[in-house]
Structure formats: structure tokens, C-alpha cells
Amino acid sequence: AARITSSLSRLTLFTPPSYVCLTPHSRSYYTPKDPNYKYFRPNFAFKRKHYNPKFKKDRWLKVTKVELPEIDTKDDVDKMTPDEIRAKMKEKGIQPTRPWQEKPIVISSTAGTFEPYVPPEGDGKLSTTSKAGAKQKFQFLEKKGKSMMAIRKIRQYDEDFDPKDFAEEAQKIYIDTHKALADFDKVRLHQTVTERAYPIVTHQAHRSTIRWHFLGSLEPPRVVHARCTDVITTDNIFAQITVRFHTKQILAVYDRFGRLQHGSEVVARDVLEYVVFEKHIANTYGIWRIHDKIIPDWMPPRQPTLKTYKIEEIKEEEEATPSDKESKDGVAAELEKPSISVAHA
């Protein structure tokens, strides 16, 4: 009946109103222009989502737009103002160049010993009657004159400076430095040692244990050399003074396993040293600190440091070797044989 009604509606000029609803029925085929049939257009578009989301980010980066650098921009840069260049570099994430090449630094110590003191061979004086003795006397007078000029320069900044009093002060600095090194007190070491000598003094010190004792001076310390020099400017002056120490000390160095590497805690030794002290005299708050140590060629070689090693224990193989196995089989065969007593024989 519904089919006939729909056919008649097509033949007649009368169009049924949209609100007229016919009796619903079920069917599996399509009837065109049927008001009771909802039509969905077929969607032939494929899925946008990839079946494998593993490389999702890589697929996204594959189509990312990249701003290529401009090759012929030299002329444009020449025409740009400094503000425009700065904005362009900021846009690209480049740090602007500085208008100066210098970097601020603090010079609190020199890089070495200028005009180092050369101790006489054997730490003695030759006879003035000989040719070598006369030459040595002339060198002493020349060096003494330069040292006096350097001391006079130091007194321009420190009026109370006296070489004899400084020798006692230098010995206190010398003792404090060794005690701070034995305790590995970094704060105290920076106060008694310059920045140049600090890495030399503390080399491998954190890996060992140091026992040091100062027993006394065999000879009073004395100033043997003094020099002054300027760095960069004529007003920036550094002073260096070499002090001779002849002392009796006890030194023992142990490695991290507690084994003795150098010296002894029982045997005391006589030590002859020429230590260089430095001060930035142009600085109002400059202090005297250990800067270097002079080791002459004629001085006997130092006692070598004993190198210690850790020997790993080798575990014995549990499996027996073929020779051991054969010997064990032979012993077992001998035990299995019937024993004959002497009485039965």
C-alpha cells in the first residue's frame, strides 16, 4: 500500500505536506525520494590517522617549514643600523658581539720568578785570592746592589719594612703553609700561597696523608735576594724576596692505603731551602705569600717516592687438571685391590 501511495504521489500534481508521516516499515533496499528513508552519502575519504603512531613526531617534522638562511645578505647588513642588526641577531638567537676584545682579569700574582737567585755551589764562599773567588765576590756585590734598590722600592709602599724582621715573618708563613698542607686547609693555603704555587703545592695531596713537624732552625733565616718589577703599567709593582732556610724537620707521606711512600716519622732530616715570597706591594691589602722554591743544580737529588700497588688475589681453579685427575684415579684403583696380610703369606 505504501508503494502504491508513493507512486500515485509522483503521478499527481498534489504534493503531500512534510509533516505527513507514513507508517514505518523495514526493508533492505533503497527507495529514492522516500520521506521515511534517511539517506547518508557515502564517504570515500581515507582515515587521517596513521595506523602506526610510533613515528608520529618524525612524520610531523617531515613537513615542518624551515627558514632557510639568506645567502646574499652582505649588502643588506652594511645598510642596516646597529639596532636593526641587534634585533636580527636576537631573532635568530645569536649573542651580539662585544665592541671590545679585552676581558676583565685580576692579576694577584706573577706567572713565575723574575731574575731568580742562583745559590753558590755548596752554599759556601770561595777564597777571594783565587780567580773564581774574585768573580764570585764581584757577582755578590752586583746582586747586593740590585737587592738594596729593590728593598728601597718596597719601603716606598711599606715604610716599616726591614729584611731582618721579614726573615722571621717568612719563617712563620713557611710553617703555617706546611701545617695547612698537612691538614689540607684550602682557605688557609690561599692566604699563605700564591695562585701560581697553589696547584703545585696541592698536587696529589688529597690522595695522601701528610705528617710534618718543625723541630727548629739550624741557622737563622736570612734574606739573600730581592727584586721588584712592574706588570702592564709602571704603577702596578710586584716584589719578590728569596729567603734561605736551614732547618730540621720530620716528614712522612702515606698513600690512601696507609703505606709509607716518603720520609719517616722517626728520622729527622736537615733541610736547606731557598723559598721565594711575593707581594703585590701596589695593593694596599697585599700580603706576603710563598710563590716559588729555588732548587740549585748542585743540590743532591731528593729521596724518590715509593710507588705502592694493590695486588689482587688470584682464586685457585676448582676444576682439577688432567694430571691431577689421573693421579686420583690411580690412587682409587690401588685402594680397590684386595690386600694380603703378612700372616697369610
pLDDT greater at residue 101 or residue 172: 172
Percent of the chain with pLDDT over 90: 33
- What's the pLDDT score for residue 340? 42
Cell numbers at residue 89, please?
Answer: 641577531
Mean pLDDT, the chain, whole residue set: 79
What residue type is assigned to position 280 of the chain? H
Q: Which residues contact 133 (CB under 8 A, 6 or more apart)?
A: 125, 126, 127
Contacts of residue 258, defined as CB under 8 A and 6 or more positions apart, other chains included, come to: 209
What distance in Å separates the CA atoms of residue 49 and residue 267, rounded to the nearest whole number? 85
Task: Determine contact, residues 221/245, Cβ cutoff 8 Å.
Answer: yes
**How many Å separate Cα 200 from the centre of its chain?**
15
Residue with cell 590517522: 49
Q: Determine how many CB atoms are found less than 10 A away from the CB of residue 150.
A: 19
Give 290's strand partners: 193, 277
Report the pLDDT value the prediction gives residue 38, as an integer from 0 to 100. Answer: 66
Name the region of 309 (left: φ>0; alpha: ψ -120 to 50; beta: rest): beta
Cα separation, 117 vs 112, in Å, equals: 13
pLDDT for 28 equals 52
Q: Kindly report, residue by residue over 251-295, the tens digit of the pLDDT.
A: 999 988 888 888 889 999 999 999 999 999 998 889 999 999 998
- Give the pLDDT score at 174: 95
76-132 pLDDT tens trace: 777 888 888 888 888 888 887 777 777 767 788 888 898 888 888 766 655 555 666
| In contact, 171 and 214? CB cutoff 8 Å | no
* 263 Rama sector, left if φ>0, alpha if ψ -120 to 50, beta otherwise: left
CA distances from 54 to 47, 64, 65, 186 (A): 17, 18, 22, 55
On whether the CB atoms of residues 266 and 276 are closer than 8 A, the answer is no
pLDDT in tens, 16-54: 554 444 444 555 555 566 677 666 676 666 667 777 788
CB 275 within 8 A of CB 230: no
Q: Which carries the bigger pLDDT value, residue 133 or residue 181?
A: 181
The answer to whether residue 71 scores a pLDDT higher than 90 is: no
Residue 116 in contact with residue 294, Cβ under 8 Å?
yes
Name the strand (E) or helix (H) holding 270. Answer: strand 260-279
Q: What whole-number distance in Å separates Cα of residue 264 and Cα of residue 260?
A: 8
Of the candidates 78, 97, 76, 75, the residue with the CA atom closest to the CA atom of residue 86: 97
Residue 1 carries which side chain, given as an amino acid letter? Answer: A
- Is a pLDDT exceeding 90 seen at residue 166? yes
User: Which amino acid does the sequence have at 188?
Assistant: R
